[in-house]
């Protein structure tokens, strides 16, 4: 036999439902607010083929990269995770330079930054032209690097993250470069 809901029970049920929905909304909002910037595999980057070195200010904020190519990461040849094919690289040049601009409205809201790289050889990462990390010979899996110590290099408005990635051997049968970058807020 079903009992009829009394007004008090209905009120408690509605209150509980509202509280539950509020918690879900707060969790979703907090997750969205925490990730201010995120770039990963499949995102578009500006890139320069390293048959010659780029201008010395290539990693700096404000550098005009309009003559550079656009491509989705991963960038390379001979591997399945590459979305931008670089068939002319093998035997001709070792290094690819990539950069991406992003905007931070309020730098005081930033609590940290991480980056990760899949790269067949050594790499160097820059934030607004400042070297933030370099890695040795080959990173086949993306491991996150905490670069929060460089938050002070962020500018209000436009910023740039840039990578220089090299293959270990100019005649290698494959090369892959997949950068990822994240700015985390309070």
- Is residue 72 pLDDT above 70, yes or no? yes
More confident residue, 16 or 70: 70
User: pLDDT tens digits, residue range 95-118?
Assistant: 999 999 999 999 999 999 999 988
The predicted pLDDT at position 4 comes to 52
* Residues 6+ away with beta carbon under 8 Å from 50: 93, 94, 95, 96, 97, 166
Centre a 10 Å sphere on the Cβ of residue 32 and count the other Cβ atoms it contains. Answer: 10
Place of tokens 């293959």: 167
151-178 average pLDDT score: 94
Q: pLDDT band for 32, please (50, 70, 90 cuts).
A: very low
Range scoring the smallest mean pLDDT among 23-32, 37-46, 120-129? 23-32
Q: Bridge-partner residues for 119, per DSSP? A: 139, 177
Q: For residue 132, what are its two tokens?
A: 């933030």
CB atoms within 10 A of CB 107: 16
Task: Indicate the pLDDT class of residue 23, thresholds 50, 70 and 90.
Answer: very low
Delineate the domains of the chain, giving CATH numbers in brackets: 36-185 (2.60.120.260)
* More confident call, 12 vs 69: 69
Comparison of pLDDT for 139 and 45, the residue scoring more: 45
- pTM for the model: 0.79
């Amino acid at each position: 036999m079903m009992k009829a809901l009394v007004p008090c029970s209905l009120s408690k049920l509605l209150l509980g439902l509202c509280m539950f929905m509020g918690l879900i909304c707060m969790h979703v909002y907090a997750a969205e607010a925490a990730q201010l910037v995120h770039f990963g595999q499949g995102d578009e980057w500006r890139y320069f083929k390293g048959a010659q070195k780029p201008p010395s200010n290539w990693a700096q904020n404000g550098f005009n990269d309009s003559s550079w190519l656009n491509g989705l990461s991963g960038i390379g040849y001979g591997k399945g995770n590459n979305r931008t094919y670089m068939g002319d690289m093998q035997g001709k040049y070792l290094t690819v330079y990539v950069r991406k601009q992003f905007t931070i409205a309020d730098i005081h809201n930033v609590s940290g930054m991480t980056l990760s790289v899949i790269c067949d050889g050594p790499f160097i990462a820059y934030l607004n032209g400042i070297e933030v990390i370099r890695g040795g010979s080959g990173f086949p899996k993306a491991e996150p690097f905490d670069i929060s110590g460089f938050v002070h290099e962020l500018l209000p408005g436009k910023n740039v993250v840039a990578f220089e990635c090299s293959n270990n051997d100019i005649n290698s049968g494959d090369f892959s470069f997949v950068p990822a970058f994240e700015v985390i807020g309070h």
